[in-house]
Amino acid sequence: MTRHEQDFAADAFTLKRRNANGGTKPLKGWGFRNETDPLTDVLLGSPAFLRHMATSSLSRKHLREAPSNIQVAQAQHKELVAAYEHFGVRIHWHEPEPELPMQVYSRDSSVMTPYGAIITAMANWWRRGENYAAIRTYERLGIPIYDMVTAGTFEGGDFNVIEEGCVLIGCGGARTQEEGARQVEDWFRKEGWETRLAFIDEYYVHIDLMVVPIAPKLTAVCLACTEPEIVDWLKSKGHEIIDVPFQHTMNLGCNFMSLGKDRIIAPTSSKTLIDKLRATGFEVAAVDMSEISKTGGGIHCMAQALLRSPD
């Protein structure tokens, strides 16, 4: 068997890991049960080749009015990396490529699950290479691929694990199509998960712009732009809601990263959320993301949790 044939066979084996009837065994050494257990390993993308492109209505608005200063954006990303290092999180990197100017948003091209990685299907043609690069990254890290989205576009910011065995899936139509969202939903229903689809206006890009878990049964939500039915659903599951003001949300203030054990990395623009969390004893690393976020996303968009260890 040639090396190429060996690689193909190994890839085929990896892709068959998902049991079509559900009941897939969780991985050992990678993955997570929820978005609030202690984060030990994270996947980031380098901003080395970052460009400000028209990926969403928000990024187009900034392009018209005040385009991102890329050098400042790159310096801000270094501060974000320093925050992860401060909290002892191991950082893994996508290999930077000049053809992938938006690869800094590592949440979009894949989704980590308890069972392995999902390779998504990017909407913008200039970002589709990120999906192939993600396959190489997971292969290098030795992380199995659970499956690949094929039914329509689907991006990782629309996969929101609210708590163990429960996922909120966003669908705005532009970046994540209903066909892609329902394909992913079907996989997790077969795994025995509770699923909920949230149909959002495409202006808000992904569901993690407006709903992000902070800690067990504590969730940040922009009440001004989240459907009341979603809020009621979260409350019915016993979640306390911290409201993030609309203007802060539009500055990616609800797009933060929970590190577990009452630790958060959040943008300085999210003053209301930061003040509320610090008042209740959270340790918050506030990072200025004002320039890099103009290019299309926030702190949560720039990180893919690879491993969270239960307390």
Instruction: Break the chain into its structural domains and give their ranges.
Output: 3-308
For residues 255 and 209, is the Cβ–Cβ distance under 8 A?
yes
Please enumerate in sequence order all residues whose Cβ is within 8 A of that of 207, keeping only pairs 6 or more positions apart, or say none: 157, 158, 160, 168, 169, 170, 198, 200
CA atoms of 182 and 98, how far apart (whole Å): 33
- Considering the four listed CATH numbers 4.10.410.60, 3.75.10.10, 3.40.190.10, 3.40.50.740, the one that applies to the domain covering 3-308 is 3.75.10.10
Backbone angles phi and psi of 211, in degrees to 5: -140, 120
* pTM metric for this prediction: 0.93
306: nearest Cα among 109, 81, 29: 29
CA atoms of 299 and 294, how far apart (whole Å): 12
Pairing of strands 194-199, 211-215: unpaired
CA atoms of 262 and 264, how far apart (whole Å): 7
* pLDDT computed for residue 2 by the predictor: 39
For 224-251, letters b (16+ CB in 10 Å) and e give ebbeeebbebbeeeebebbbbbeebbbb
Count CB neighbours of 49 within 10 A: 16
C-alpha pair distances (Å), 218 with each of 132, 208, 214, 277, 280 = 35, 15, 6, 11, 12
Backbone angles phi and psi of 71, in degrees to 5: -65, -40
Residue 99 corresponds to which amino acid? E
CA atoms of 24 and 187, how far apart (whole Å): 10
Residues in the chain with pLDDT values less than 70: 1-20, 311
Residue 227 corresponds to which amino acid? E
* pLDDT computed for residue 17 by the predictor: 52
For residue 48, give the DSSP letter.
T
